[in-house]
Amino acid sequence: MKILIVDDSKAMRMIVRRTLRQAGFEDHEVEEAENGSTGLDKIIEWKPDLVLSDWNMPEMTGIELLHAVRGAGNQVLFGFVTSERATDMQETAAAAGAAFLITKPFDGDTFKAALGAVV
């Protein structure tokens, strides 16, 4: 599986990589993008099977990225990894086509539960 991590924090991208390994997803290809705009370019170019995206980012937010992806007819599996845990955010994410929303902070078990349900 090809997994794209989209987050403006390099530290968080590293933590998501580590947590994927802890959750048992160590044998997958992982690429990164630093905001929604470069994330969109990467989705078009690399065609990942799963996108893990932050919400708040410069250039293009995660929800804007998801709207752009779905607007182009791309049904790639998409989930948010974000500190935004409010109910209205979760509803907005689901309505836009996100399969799940993992809230920060998280651990390997959180990832296993969220990704295991959809992968």
Partner 1 sequence: MQLTSDDISTLTLQVCESILGLPIETDGPSVDSHEVPVSGTVWITGAWDGAVAIRCSRGLARTVSGAMFDTRPDDASSDEIDDAIGEIANMIGGNIKSLLPGPSKLSLPSVAHDELVADRQTQSGQSTTWNFVVNGEPFAVTMIVKSGPDGDDSSED
Residue numbers of the site for partner 1 (CB under 8 A)?
8-12, 14-15, 18, 56-58, 82-86, 88-89, 103-107
Q: Which two tokens stand for residue 92?
A: 């907005």
* Nearer of residues 67 and 104 to partner 1, judged by Cβ: 104
Q: Crossing angle for the helix pair 62-71 and 87-96, nearest 10 degrees?
A: 20
Query: Cβ 87 to partner 1, closest distance in Å?
Result: 8
Query: Cβ 75 to partner 1, closest distance in Å?
Result: 28
> How open is the CA angle 89-93-97, to the nearest 5 degrees?
170
Cβ pair 119, 50 in contact under 8 A: yes
Q: What CA–CA distances, in Å, run from 54 to 27, 33, 63?
A: 22, 10, 9
* Nearer of residues 14 and 94 to partner 1, judged by Cβ: 14
Query: Cβ 74 to partner 1, closest distance in Å?
Result: 26
* Nearer of residues 2 and 104 to partner 1, judged by Cβ: 104
- The Cα–Cα gap between 6 and 111 comes to 16
Query: Cβ 44 to partner 1, closest distance in Å?
Result: 25
* Nearer of residues 24 and 58 to partner 1, judged by Cβ: 58
